[in-house]
């Protein structure tokens, strides 16, 4: 129920404002972009990796006035917000899909082990460690797809 409420709120929002500074990767910007919502985030930490400035949202100096200006620009230009939302969804599917994750993880394992049977063993161990995160992301994507 709480997860469905979270997805419903994202579905009704114009955008998501994500203010933590020096945050780790953070799943909230990715979930927001997958929900076709632009992200206004601090220009540090994880959002530097996940948000594409001026394409999927805005990366801002962590100052209230800067966040307010970015938010105002989306409120005043809802078509721009919608375009950023669409770009965000495409960005997530391109950069953070399970296929992309699998290809990147396989490459890391192959680079570290030199290929062969050791690569498969490394990948299995990595998948098991990351499985809870992947399952949560997959579940979220299923719920959001039902709401859109």
Average predicted confidence (pLDDT) for the chain: 84
What's the rounded Cα separation, in Å, for the pair 34 and 94?
11
- Residue positions counted in the chain: 148
Are 92 and 98 in contact by the 8 Å Cβ rule? The answer is no
pLDDT mean over 95-108: 78
Question: Nearest to residue 30, comparing CAs of 10, 1, 5?
Answer: 10
What's the rounded Cα separation, in Å, for the pair 52 and 91?
8
What's the rounded Cα separation, in Å, for the pair 62 and 122?
39
What are the tens digits of pLDDT across the range 6-60?
Answer: 888 888 999 999 999 888 877 899 989 999 999 999 999 999 999 999 999 999 9
Write out the E strands in the chain: 16-18, 39-42, 57-60
Give pLDDT, residue 60.
96
């Amino acid at each position: 129920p709480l997860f469905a409420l979270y997805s419903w709120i994202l579905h009704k929002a114009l955008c998501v404002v994500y203010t933590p500074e020096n945050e780790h990767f953070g799943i909230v910007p990715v979930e927001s972009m997958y929900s076709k919502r632009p992200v206004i985030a601090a220009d540090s930490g994880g959002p530097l990796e996940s948000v594409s400035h001026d394409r999927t949202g805005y990366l801002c100096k962590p100052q209230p006035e800067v966040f307010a200006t970015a938010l105002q620009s989306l409120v005043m230009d809802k078509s721009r917000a919608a375009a950023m939302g669409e770009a965000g969804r495409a960005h997530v599917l391109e950069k953070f899909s399970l296929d992309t994750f699998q290809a990147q993880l396989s490459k890391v394992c192959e680079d570290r082990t030199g290929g062969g049977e050791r690569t498969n063993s490394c990948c299995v161990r990595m998948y098991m460690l990351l499985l809870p995160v992947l399952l949560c992301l997959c579940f979220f994507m299923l719920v959001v797809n039902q709401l859109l």
